[in-house]
Structure 1
Amino acid sequence: MAKNLAKDAGKEAIEALGWWQTHRFLIYRRLCQISIMACFMLGPTLGILKGNLSSSLLLDTIPLSDPLIVLQTLATGHIPEMTTFIGVAIVVVFYAVLAPRVFCAWVCPLNMVTDLAAWMRRKLNLKASYRWPSSLRYWLIPVILIGSAISGTTLWAWVDPVATLHRGLVFGMGAGWILIVLVFLLDLVLVEHGWCGHLCPLGATYGVIGSKSTLRITATNREACTKCMDCFYVCPEPEILKQPLKEGDRRVMSQECISCGRCIEVCPTKVFEFKPRGAQQIQVSTKSPSITK
């Protein structure tokens, strides 16, 4: 079967499986992101979630801390309170056990902005003007830590668009909209999946944390692959899908997977599914299709 056009990604799945099956994880993710934002907004009233994504208190009892912020704080030479260490331990254990980069697809409010940019890029058939190495985000982490040590401040907090958008939605955006628009234009015009796939150091941090996590997207039914390429079109990290669709391990083992489930939704032949990492692997066929982007 010939590959589909990028702007038509998911169309076959809608015809074969229906609209809900083709968008269910997307809807779940939006509900999750909006619900978390609502909990922060209503924090002073309901007391469910107080603070922000950098540091918060759940039910007035459970501390939650951003691992990258804590690392920057330590780099400045300051020692956080014990509750901060407890908060970061809870966050690290949660994301280390669950699935790769769950924060990025299910919690981060900026994901809605970058998803919109990716959707518009496909519909308008825009081509990337530049190509950046995906490893750039990992190099940003030591740069940020060194900068924090030199400046004596949590340097990234000043320019982090994730924190800016979250603070803006809860407390008022002001000039912060400029930074969010720049991220949107970066993804739309300059670099395909530029922010989430190449630049975001917080996503890289959660990628490292979740590298051994339990739940994995798995090409259980890869023999049914028709090479339509729809999964590659919608995936923020398309390179990670190549190996599971070839011979060998069917699981997406890359820590760069954001566990969004879009590849599962848009596949009309149900090639992919979420599966526990320790689940018994299906016998690999030597006739699996060769997939190239």
Structure 2
Amino acid sequence: MKRRFFEQIMVMFGREPKKPAAIAPAAQKIHFYKRGNRDFIAEKLHARAHAEHKNTWRNRRWAVLILVNLLFVVSFHFDIQLLEGALTASRFAGFHLIDLNSALQVMLAHKHIIINLVIGTGTVFVIWLLLGGRTFCSWVCPYHLLAEWTESLHLYLVKKKLVTDQPMDRRMRTISWFLFALLAIGTGYTVFEAISPTGILSRALIYGAGVALLWVLALLVFEVFFSRRAWCRYACPIGLTYGVVGILSPVRILYTLDGCFHEGDCRKVCLVPHVLDTVIKGRAVNTEVPIGPDCTRCGLCVDTCPTGSLKFDVKGLSRLL
């Protein structure tokens, strides 16, 4: 289990998933049954043909994301002082909330620990430690929602063979994280905050559109015509920061090997399909495998799975329906 946990962390930093070196006896038994079993193959084809793709978790997530960002807008325009600021730094009912990556960038730029920032990040750190760091990406980040909507256009163009999806090296995101950290130290300026589509969109929604939205538009155009979800998958250091915070999160997606038909639909809809490497036939190291910390907990795989083999789970508590 410790080895599997370490592998999941390395995959988050860009390593490609590897075939497991050791598989638990109970999982080996299930793998052996599925290999070449005609009844299993027939069940797989039946499940795929009659799969009912729900949008339960997707709709919940979209509702939460829109409401959180709308709360910023309403609070500012009606001056109700409930949620002030933007996603990078805000105050909710008097409690300071500061984005972890933004706070880190500021402290690196100023080259010392700023106590007020540490206090402001405390609540945010606990929230995402409990919920799973990259939950922020799919449940709060406004760029994620736009990228998800424009992704459908990209997939349509790919289907029509008008464009091809160009995957890139996932290690670029780790390099990006260190690059922006070094730029903050070297320039004394939070360079990333100037180009972060998350911050740009949040401020534009609250205070009004600016020329920086052209950069966001350029990113979306690049993702539509060249590489699916390129910014979130290969560049954004925010996702990596929150992924590290969520390593020990009790909230996760749990995979159950026994009922899985390995039809692969979950990996097709996943923003970060490398985290679902374990669903490939013969890859699961145990009968139940928690999905790694790079998972955004978006719930698309849960909605898509025809057999319920992927579910939300709280470690140590009963599973969520």
1:193 is displaced (CA, Å) by 2.3
Cα contact 2:276–2:291 (8 A) shared by 1: no
Instruction: Tell me how far apart the structure 2 counterparts of residues 130 and 66 of structure 1 sit (CA, whole Å).
Output: 31
Q: Does 1:69 align with 2:69?
A: no
Listed as ranges, the matches of 1:107-146 within 5 Å are: 107-124=140-157, 125=159, 128-146=164-182
Return the letter of the residue paired with 1:164: I
| Residue aligning to 1:267 | 305
Instruction: Tell me how far apart the structure 1 counterparts of residues 64 and 165 of structure 2 sit (CA, whole Å).
Output: 33
Gaps of 5+ in 1: 15-21, 282-293
Relative to structure 1, the CA distance from residue 92 to residue 185 in structure 2 (aligned partners, 3 Å threshold; closer, same or farther) is same
Q: Does 1:194 align with 2:230?
A: yes
Question: RMSD value over aligned CA atoms?
Answer: 2.5
Return the letter of the residue paired with 1:39: L
1:63 is displaced (CA, Å) by 0.6
Gaps of 5+ in 2: 1-40
Question: Could you tell me the percent identity over the aligned residues?
Answer: 24
Q: Which structure has the bigger radius of gyration?
A: 2
Instruction: Tell me how far apart the structure 2 counterparts of residues 140 and 10 of structure 1 sit (CA, whole Å).
Output: 42
Q: Does 1:208 align with 2:247?
A: no
Q: Deviations over 1:37-71 (max 9, x none)?
A: 12111224222210011110001x11101111111
Instruction: Tell me how far apart the structure 2 counterparts of residues 152 and 50 of structure 1 sit (CA, whole Å).
Output: 26
Instruction: Tell me how far apart the structure 2 counterparts of residues 120 and 269 of structure 1 sit (CA, whole Å).
Output: 28
**TM-score (normalizing by structure 1):** 0.83
Relative to structure 1, the CA distance from residue 80 to residue 39 in structure 2 (aligned partners, 3 Å threshold; closer, same or farther) is farther
1:202 is displaced (CA, Å) by 0.6
Q: Does 1:33 align with 2:81?
A: no
| Residue aligning to 2:210 | 174
Listed as ranges, the matches of 1:1-293 within 5 Å are: 12-14=51-53, 22-44=54-76, 45-59=79-93, 61-77=94-110, 79=112, 82-124=115-157, 125=159, 128-220=164-256, 222-244=257-279, 246-249=283-286, 250-278=288-316
Instruction: Tell me how far apart the structure 1 counterparts of residues 49 and 198 of structure 2 sit (CA, whole Å).
Output: 28
Relative to structure 1, the CA distance from residue 75 to residue 143 in structure 2 (aligned partners, 3 Å threshold; closer, same or farther) is same
> SS at 1:223's partner residue?
coil
Return the letter of the residue paired with 1:261: G
Cα contact 1:128–1:192 (8 A) shared by 2: no
1:279 is displaced (CA, Å) by 5.8
Return the letter of the residue paired with 1:34: I
Cα contact 1:101–1:206 (8 A) shared by 2: yes
> SS at 1:251's partner residue?
strand
Instruction: Tell me how far apart the structure 2 counterparts of residues 206 and 128 of structure 1 sit (CA, whole Å).
Output: 30
Cα contact 1:65–1:87 (8 A) shared by 2: yes
Instruction: Tell me how far apart the structure 2 counterparts of residues 10 and 63 of structure 1 sit (CA, whole Å).
Output: 50
Instruction: Tell me how far apart the structure 1 counterparts of residues 50 and 149 of structure 2 sit (CA, whole Å).
Output: 17
**TM-score (normalizing by structure 2):** 0.76
> SS at 1:228's partner residue?
coil
Relative to structure 1, the CA distance from residue 54 to residue 113 in structure 2 (aligned partners, 3 Å threshold; closer, same or farther) is same
